[in-house]
Amino acid sequence: MKNLHLSPLALASVCITLAATGLLLATSSAAQDANAPKTTAAKAAMTVSTGKPSQSALPLRLAANGNIAAWQEASVGSESGGLRLQEVRVNVGDRVQRDQVLAVFASESVQADVALARANVAEAQAQAVDAATNAERARSLQASGALSAQQISQYNTTELSTKARVQSAQAALQQQELRLKHCQVLAPDSGIISARSASVGAVLSPGVELFRLIRQGRLEWRAEVTSAELGRIKTGTLVQVQSASGSSVAGKVRMVAPTVDPQTRNALVYVDLAVTPTGGTVKAGMFARGEFALGSSNALTVPQQAVVVRDGFSYVFTLGKDNKVAQQKVEAGRRVGEQVEILKGLDANATIAVAGAGFLNDGDTVRVGAAP
């Protein structure tokens, strides 16, 4: 057998030919794989529960903001001047009754003035008795001519003068007794002490405030309501007030202000609260938010689970043919418990997805069953 000898150029040509053949075969195989039909797994349908909108009676409420304040505050001050405050018997937060003694002034000097006034009354009464006796004697001698008419007139005038002095002395005595009575500072009404400025040992002028009293311990909520909503609120309307501390208090409208603020266009509504300043966590001066109960009205409602909020809008998913859902934009209104009012965008006879609605997209196919 003869040996086959190839030149270097021929050998290189053979190698290039073999490489090109292999590349062509690989490209053909890849093209066949690319043209082969693809198989994808079908998306599993989600199981949801369905329901229908219902007609419900929902309460009508009007929300407002305002401050909690005392119904009325009484200023209890000093009625006697120049006296030393000897005793303070109550403090802030104490509940007091009408005519209860709150503070006592030193009364020694006033008692001395009362004793002097009584002595003056006794002296004036004695002078009046003597003058009346002399006048009566003079009148009895008028017919005899023993006394002149001028003398008789003087006796009568003296009698009248001494009677006037008795009345003056009695008035001075009453004045001193009144000062003695004012040595005890009494509560003008039942209520709760909200402020105290009285200090033992102080010498006070008349009219200086010693205590501030929340009359009868009553609190009120002063709600600010716009003039457009003011006509919906009537006297006796029930109110639920929630303070900044989180506690809720029931109340009732006592009065609607007769005027509207010309700058804010708001009016005050005064609501009596069923709470005392010492009970609960509602205190005078707190900011509070409340709702006026204005009755009820019929509304189209759906379960809260059926309403999906996306991008700031509310949607529901209605069930159509072949169990496909359609996303519908709706306008939500009041929320009471687990029910949401639908103002517009939903037919009353539509079937909607309830449980599982939050995971759906427009056009999804679902299975209807129990809530997952």
Which of 30-34, 41-45, 181-185 shows the lowest mean pLDDT across its residues? Answer: 30-34
Query: CA neighbours within 13 Å on the CB side: how many for 134?
Result: 18
Each residue's pLDDT tens digit, 75-92: 999 888 889 999 999 999
DSSP 141: T
Cα–Cα distance for residue pair 370/349, rounded to 1 Å: 21
Question: What is the rounded distance in angstroms from the CA atom of residue 70 to the CA atom of residue 220?
Answer: 6
Tens-place pLDDT, residues 298-321: 889 999 888 999 888 999 999 888
User: What is the fold, at CATH topology level, of the domain defined by 83-106+183-215?
Assistant: OB fold (Dihydrolipoamide Acetyltransferase, E2P) (2.40.50)
**Ranges in the chain annotated CATH 2.40.30.170:** 63-71+216-297
Q: Where are the beta strands (DSSP E) in 219-324?
A: 219-226, 238-243, 248-256, 266-273, 287-303, 308-310, 313-319
- Average pLDDT taken over every residue of the chain: 84
- Dist. CA 43–CA 21, nearest whole Å: 44
**Percent of the chain residues topping a pLDDT of 70:** 86
Cα-trace Rg, the chain: 49
**For residue 39, pLDDT beyond 70:** no
Cα 185 to Cα 193: distance, rounded to the nearest angstrom: 14
63-71+216-297 is a CATH 2.40.30.170 domain: yes
Report pLDDT digits (tens) over 332-366. Answer: 888 888 888 888 888 888 888 888 888 888 888 88
Q: Could you read off the pLDDT of 136-178 as tens digits, one per residue?
A: 888 888 777 777 888 888 888 998 999 999 999 999 999 999 9
Of 38-42, 101-105, 191-195, 305-309, give the lowest mean pLDDT range.
Answer: 38-42
SS3 220: strand
| C-alpha span between 204 and 103 (Å, rounded) | 13
15-26 per-position pLDDT tens digit = 455 444 444 444
pLDDT at 105: 94
Per-residue pLDDT, 4:
42
Average pLDDT over residues 198-223: 92
Structure tokens, 19: 């490489």
Which pLDDT score is estimated for 279? 57
Return the closest-CA partner of residue 97 out of 189, 21, 32, 184: 189
Superfamily of domain 107-182: Helix hairpin bin (1.10.287.470)
Every domain of the chain with CATH number 1.10.287.470 lies at 107-182
What is the structure's pLDDT at 322? 81
CATH of domain 48-58+298-368: 2.40.420.20
Choose the weakest-confidence range: 218-227, 272-281, 283-292: 272-281
Tens digit of pLDDT for each residue in 224-236? 999 889 888 999 9
